Amino acid sequence: MSEEKTVKLIFLGAPGAGKGTQAELTAEKYKIPTISTGAILREAIAAGTELGKTAAGYVESGALVPDDLIVGLVSERISRPDCKNGFILDGFPRTIAQAKALDESGTEISVVIDIDVPDGKIIDRMAGRRVCASCGATFHVVHNPTGDGIHCDRCGGELTRRRDDDPEIVRQRLRTYHSETEPLVGYYEAKGTLKRIDGDGKVEDITAAVFEVVDDYLGSET
């Protein structure tokens, strides 16, 4: 095993499957950054940048932002020094074209973790999801509540509800997921990098399963 082994992870799964929560916990444990394309877009929208203005209509209607925009943004982000020991991609790639662009950039992904949750549970989950307005951490009013239910446990920021967590938009996001993103499961399965985790359970049980997958990878010969 090489001491320098990097951990480049992709978290796949439907919106609301728990990718963001698991990505944060994994990032903390393995001391690598999480790159959430959704969070980057939401920040850009809030700040009113050019990227935000272009992305707003797509994000708010539950559609995907055009591939070239997202691919450029991710390539720039993963070339920064804090990614030299690895990173977690949360919400990218979301189309086969994005996955191919990532492959063509020469980025070798260690493991793709697919967090699997049935659609029926997703809409219910999204209704209770809360996001910190300051640091972007995600919580759930029932399954992963904060200490006081109003503020973020991590930074004390105010908890808010994402506009695209509205049930009507969630249904659209699920349709987008099944048509555009789910084919990536087969794509990475064919490459031999896919690990499936049952995401319909307690946060800590899913985290344990995720850590086991990463530890297996780190302990394996290259």
Q: Which residues are catalytic?
A: 19, 94, 129, 162, 173
Output the smallest distance, CB 41 to ligand AMP, in A.
Answer: 5
Q: Which of 173, 187, 193, 207 binds ligand AMP (CB under 6 A)?
A: 173
Closest CA to 116 of 9, 212, 210, 190: 210
* Stretch touching ligand AMP by CB under 6 A, among 5-13, 22-30, 54-62, 210-218: 54-62
Asked if 59 touches ligand AMP (CB under 6 A), the answer is: yes
CA distance 11 to 214: 12
Select from 10, 13, 15, 113 the one that contacts ligand AMP (CB under 6 A): 15
Answer yes or no whether residue 91 interacts with ligand AMP by CB under 6 A. Answer: yes
With binding defined as CB under 6 A, does residue 87 bind ligand AMP? no
Residue 92 as a binder of ligand AMP (CB under 6 A): the answer is yes
Site for ligand AMP in 109-168 (CB under 6 A): 164
* Interhelix angle 183-191/96-104, nearest 10 degrees: 30
Which amino acid is it at 37?
A: T
Total of chain residues touching ligand AMP, rule CB under 6 A: 17
Closest separation between CB of residue 4 and ligand AMP, Å?
A: 28
